[in-house]
A and B are shown apart, each in its own frame.
Chain A
Amino acid sequence: MFLRKTVPTIIASISGVVVVVAYFFQITPIGTLADHILKWRSVIAVFALGLGGVNIIRLHTKNIQRDPKNFYSAALLLTFAITIVVGLTMGQTSAPYTFIFDYINVPTGSAIFSLLAFYIGTAAYRAFRAKNAEAAILLITGCIVMLGRVPIGAKILPFTAPATDWIMSVLNVGGQRGVMIAGAIGFIAVSLRIIVGLERRAYGGE
C-alpha cells in the first residue's frame, strides 16, 4: 500500500511543488533541486520512449505469430530494426540514415499530413451549414480566411485579403484570448489536483 499509493503521491507532490516554487521564488537550493528534477524527467522520458518501442515490437510480433502472412507487421518491424541499426552503427549523419529520413519519413509524413486536405472537405460541409447564428459566423469567417489566403481568392473577391488580416489580428485574437485564459485556469486546476495527490489516476493509481 505504501509503495503503491503513498510514495507515488509524495514524489508527485514534492516534484510539482519544487518546480513551481523554484520558478516564483529565488531560493538557490530549491532552484538546484528543480533543475535536477527537470533533468531527471527528461532522462525518464527517454525510457518511456523505449517502452513505446518495446510495445511496438510486442504488438507486431504477436500479429505475425497470429497470422504468419501478415507482411504489414513484418515490414514495420523490418523498417524499425533497419532504422535503429543504421542510426546506431553508422550515425545520424550517415547517408543511409539521411536517406531513410529524407526519402521515407519526410515525404510519407507530409503526404499523410496533406491527406486531411481532402477529408476536411466533408468536415467543412458539416461544419459550414448555417443552421444558426454561431454556424453562420463560423461559415463566413472560415470562407473569408480560406479565400483571403490564396491569390485567386483575392482576385475573385478583392476584399477578402484585407478582411482576412483583420479577422486574424482582431476577431481571432479576441475570441482565442478568452479561450486561452479559461483553458489556462482549467490547466492550473488539473495541475494542482495532480500535485496535491487528488488525481492519482494520472500516474497509474486508483
Chain B
Amino acid sequence: MNISSSVGVWVGAIAALGIYSVLVKDNPFYRLVEHIFVGASAGIAIVTGIQTFKSQAWSPLTGGQWLLIIPILLGVLLYARYVPQYSYLNRLPLSLMMGAGAGVAMRGAVESQIVGQLTATMIKLDTLDAWIIFLGTLLSLSYFFLTYKLEGGAGWAPKLGRYFMMAAFGAAFGNTVMGRVSAAIGRFQFIFLDWLGM
C-alpha cells in the first residue's frame, strides 16, 4: 500500500467514507459530512450567483444600461416576504419569473417535444424497427387519450401502449442502476487506488 500524502485526497476519501457510513445506519459522522456538503454547495451557488449578478446586472447597469434597475428592484422585492405587512409584493417578481418561464417552456415543448418528436417518428417506414417505433409512439400516445375510456375493440391500443411504456421504463431503470453503480465504482476506485494506493 502506498497511502496518499495529499490533503485533498484525504479530505475527499474521508467525506466519501462518511457518506457510505449511512449504509450501516444513520450516524453523527454521516450527518456531519452531509451538513458540510450542503454548506459548501450552497456557498458555491451563492458565489456563482453573485458573479452572475455582477456580470449580467451590475456591470451593464453602471455602464449605462439603466433598464436593468427594473429586475434589480423586482429582485429586492422577493425579500418582502420577510416583512409580513408587505409580503404580497414578492408576487411581482415571481409573476414575471413564472410568466416568462411558462413562455420559454411552451416554446421549448412545442419545438423539441412535439414537432421534433413527431418529425422523427414520421420517417420512411421501410424497416421493422421503424414500424415498431411508429406504432410504439401511436400506441403509447393512445394511453393518454383521456376524453373518454377506450373500451371494446379500441381498448387494446392503450393496453399495448402501456406495454411499450413499461419496456421504456424498464430500460430507463436499468440505465439508472448502471449509472449509479458506475458512480459507486468510481468512488471505490478513488478510495482504494488514489487514497490507499492499493
A36 to B71, CA, bound (A): 10
Whether B44 pairs with A100 at a CB distance below 8 angstroms is yes
Please tell me if the beta carbons of B168 and A171 are within 8 angstroms of each other in the complex.
yes
Task: Select which of A13, A108, A137 is within 8 A of B99 by beta carbon.
Answer: A13
- Chain B residues within an 8 Å CB radius of A192: 102, 106
Q: Mark B32-49, 1 if CB is under 8 A from A, else 0.
A: 111111111111111111
Which among A73, A82, A142 has the greatest number of chain B C-beta atoms within 10 A? A142
Contact present for B43 and A81 (CB under 8 Å) = yes
Contact A202 B98, beta carbon cutoff 8 Å: yes
Taking the closest CB of chain A, its distance from the CB of B62, in whole angstroms, is 14
- Assess A105 versus B103: contact at CB under 8 Å? Given A142-B173, A145-B171, A175-B168: no
Q: How many chain B residues touch the partner (CB < 8 A)?
A: 117
Jot down 26 A-B pairs with beta carbons below 8 A, ordered by A: A3-B89, A46-B49, A52-B45, A79-B36, A87-B43, A87-B50, A100-B40, A105-B40, A111-B20, A111-B187, A117-B184, A127-B173, A142-B171, A145-B171, A150-B178, A171-B164, A172-B168, A175-B164, A175-B166, A178-B137, A178-B144, A185-B114, A185-B144, A192-B102, A195-B99, A203-B98
* Residues of chain B within 8 A of A31, CB atoms compared: none
Nearest opposing residue in chain B for A7, CB measure: B92
Q: Mostly helix, strand, loop or mixed at chain B's interface?
A: helix
- Interface residue? B197 (CB, 8 A): no
Decide if B3 is an interface residue (CB 8 Å cutoff): no
CB distance from A8 to the nearest CB of B (A): 4
Within the complex, what minimum Cβ distance (angstroms) separates A35 from chain B? 11
1/0 per residue, CB under 8 A from B, across A60-102: the answer is 0000000000011101111111111001100010000101111
Establish whether residues B75 and A188, one from each chain, have CB atoms under 8 Å apart when the complex forms.
no
Cα separation A140 to B100 with both chains bound (whole Å) = 43
A176, B133: Cα distance in complex, Å: 10
What is the CA–CA distance of A118 and B33 in the complex, to the nearest angstrom? 19
Q: Is A104 at the interface (CB under 8 A from chain B)? A: yes
How many A residues touch the partner, as a band? 35 or more
Q: Which of A168-185 contact B (CB under 8 A)?
A: 168-185
Interface check B193, CB cutoff 8 A: no
Chain B residue at minimal CB-CB distance from A82? B43
- A37–B100 touching, CB < 8 Å: yes
Q: Which residue of A lies closest to B164 (CB)?
A: A175
- B125 beta carbon closer than 8 Å to chain A: no
- Which of B42, B44, B52, B142 interacts with A46 by CB under 8 Å? B52
Output the nearest chain A residue to B76 by Cβ-Cβ distance: A47
Contacts of A106 in B (CB 8 A): 12
- Extra 9 A-B pairs, beta carbons < 8 Å, given A39-B71, A79-B39, A80-B43: A41-B97, A48-B75, A56-B42, A71-B32, A111-B20, A146-B177, A177-B117, A182-B144, A184-B109
